[in-house]
């Protein structure tokens, strides 16, 4: 199936033309360059060996763990591929490589869901630990939706951190979308309520809500998110339509565990992996898909508003193995 066909129907911000789909591919490919040139390059090179030996599989396993695929995910993955190779009687390393490739795609596709974006406004809640890249992701999403002809409003729901609202306002100006904000110390619930009203009265297609990554020690972040969700529901019963969990690719397995706790406590619908451009350990995407059990929907590929790619499992694995 062509990339365009795969991406088509993945929401109102999916590519509308083959050329647009290609920009997502180029960004994913560029952002995974460090991973491709290090661990996955070495894996690809191992498959150029003359024969499939136990040692070769051990080396591959070690490289996958080093690339942050995670010990459990790696062990299960290699076990499955070895079993498939044995059953199919495969002797050619190149064929085994294809099986590993396909199995890796399968891991990433396992939790994929059809995306339904028919509600107006489509309400997106963005959550994640502090510094993960939530606010930047929101700016990128706003830019992407705007570019697709959608009318967007942002809600500065992080009223805890000093300058958080200003950061979102600055992004709003840069991107060219309105931001509902009450500054530091305001009630996030009131901000969200007002933004929902603004979205309805100004005929917005999409509302994207920023949230705090950290609160006072005595305030439970998860309870706050539940409260926000209830306020949103008072305005629109089936919202939020998307809850995107933002995970920093550079935080390693520890970051995945932290995110897992987050996902367990909030109804996350998908994951955005940020800072893929800043790591050689892009294998983290597999650990995330396995541990969080949600589809990866976006990848952050840099600090600019255009540095966002819609995730596609096949494209991602192709990029890691160095196929264009
Ligand atoms: N290289 C790179 N940097 C990124 C990416 N996404 C975010 N960043 C940087 O990461 C830092 C933190 O990003 P924010 O968007 O402020 O993170 P946050 O989750 O909103 O943080 P808090 O509001 O403190 O919870 C900023 O310096 C961003 O420029 C990315 O995809 N690539
Ligand atoms: Mg923020």
Percentage of residues of the chain with pLDDT beyond 90: 78
Q: Which two tokens stand for residue 279?
A: 């790591």
Helical (H) or strand (E) element with 251: none
Q: Does 222 score more than 90 pLDDT?
A: no
Q: What is the pLDDT of residue 217?
A: 64
Q: What is the pLDDT of residue 281?
A: 96
Q: Which two tokens stand for residue 38?
A: 């290090």
The answer to whether the CB of 134 is under 6 A from ligand 1 is yes
Residue nearest to atom 25 of ligand 1 (CA): 130
Percentage of residues of the chain with pLDDT beyond 70: 98
Taking the CA of 138 as reference, the closest ligand is 1
Q: What is the rounded distance in angstroms from the CA atom of residue 309 to the CA atom of residue 165?
A: 25
Q: What is the pLDDT of residue 216?
A: 66
Query: What domains can you pick out in the chain, each with its CATH number?
Result: 33-109 (1.20.120.140), 122-312 (3.40.50.300)
Task: Tell which atom from ligand 1 comes closest to the C-alpha of 214.
Answer: 25
The answer to whether the CB of 289 is under 6 A from ligand 1 is no
Best probe residue, ligand 1, of 30, 131, 215 (max atoms within 8 Å of C-beta): 131
Q: What is the rounded distance in angstroms from the CA atom of residue 315 to the CA atom of residue 318?
A: 5
The answer to whether the CB of 213 is under 6 A from ligand 1 is yes
Q: Does 324 score more than 50 pLDDT?
A: no
The answer to whether the CB of 278 is under 6 A from ligand 1 is yes
The structure's pTM equals 0.96
Q: What is the rounded distance in angstroms from the CA atom of residue 140 to the CA atom of residue 11?
A: 15
Q: What is the pLDDT of residue 218?
A: 63
Q: What is the pLDDT of residue 3?
A: 76
Q: What is the rounded distance in angstroms from the CA atom of residue 251 to the CA atom of residue 268?
A: 19
Q: Does 94 score more than 50 pLDDT?
A: yes
Task: Tell which atom from ligand 1 comes closest to the C-alpha of 129.
Answer: 25
The answer to whether the CB of 131 is under 6 A from ligand 1 is yes
Q: What is the pLDDT of residue 258?
A: 86
pLDDT tens-digit map of 237-286: 999 999 999 999 999 999 898 888 888 877 899 999 999 999 999 999 99
The answer to whether the CB of 281 is under 6 A from ligand 1 is no
For ligand 1, the distance from its centroid to the CA atom of residue 225, given in whole angstroms, is: 20
Confidence of residue 214 (pLDDT cuts 50, 70, 90): confident
- Phi, psi at 175, each rounded to 5°: -75, -30
Beta strands in 97-175 (DSSP E): 122-127, 152-156
Average pLDDT over residues 43-72: 94
Query: Other CB atoms closer than 10 Å to residue 120's CB: what's the count?
Result: 15
Task: Tell which atom from ligand 1 comes closest to the C-alpha of 299.
Answer: 31
The answer to whether the CB of 158 is under 6 A from ligand 1 is yes
Task: Give the mean pLDDT of the chain.
Answer: 93
């Amino acid at each position: 199936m062509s990339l365009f066909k795969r991406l088509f129907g993945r929401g109102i911000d999916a590519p509308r033309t083959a050329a647009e789909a290609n920009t997502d591919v180029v960004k994913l490919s560029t952002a995974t360059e460090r991973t491709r040139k290090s661990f996955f390059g070495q894996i690809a090179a191992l498959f150029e060996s003359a024969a499939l030996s136990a040692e070769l599989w051990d080396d591959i396993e070690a490289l996958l763990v080093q690339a942050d695929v995670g010990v459990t995910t790696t062990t299960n993955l290699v076990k499955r591929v070895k079993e498939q190779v044995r059953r199919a009687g495969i002797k050619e390393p190149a064929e085994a490589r294809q099986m590993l490739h396909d199995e890796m795609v399968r891991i990433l596709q396992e939790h994929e869901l059809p995306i339904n974006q028919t509600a107006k406004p489509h309400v997106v809640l963005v959550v994640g630990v502090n510094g993960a890249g939530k606010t930047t992701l929101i700016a990128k999403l706003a830019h992407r939706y705007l570019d697709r002809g959608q009318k967007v409003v942002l809600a500065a729901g992080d009223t805890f951190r000093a300058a958080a609202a200003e950061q979102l306002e600055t992004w709003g100006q840069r991107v060219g979308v309105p931001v509902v904000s009450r500054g530091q110390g305001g009630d996030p619930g009131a901000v969200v309520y007002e933004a929902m009203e603004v979205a309805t009265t100004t005929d917005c297609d999409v509302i994207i809500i920023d949230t705090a990554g950290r609160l006072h020690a005595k305030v439970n972040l998860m309870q706050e998110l539940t409260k926000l969700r209830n306020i949103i529901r008072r305005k629109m019963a089936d919202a939020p339509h998307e809850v995107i969990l933002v995970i920093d690719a550079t935080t390693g397995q520890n970051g995945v565990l932290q995110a897992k706790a987050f996902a367990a406590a909030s109804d996350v619908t998908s994951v955005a992996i940020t800072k893929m451009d800043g790591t050689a350990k892009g294998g983290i995407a597999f650990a995330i898909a396995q541990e969080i059990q949600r589809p990866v929907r976006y990848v952050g590929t840099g600090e600019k508003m255009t540095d966002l790619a819609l995730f596609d499992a096949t494209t991602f694995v192709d990029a890691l193995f160095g196929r264009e």
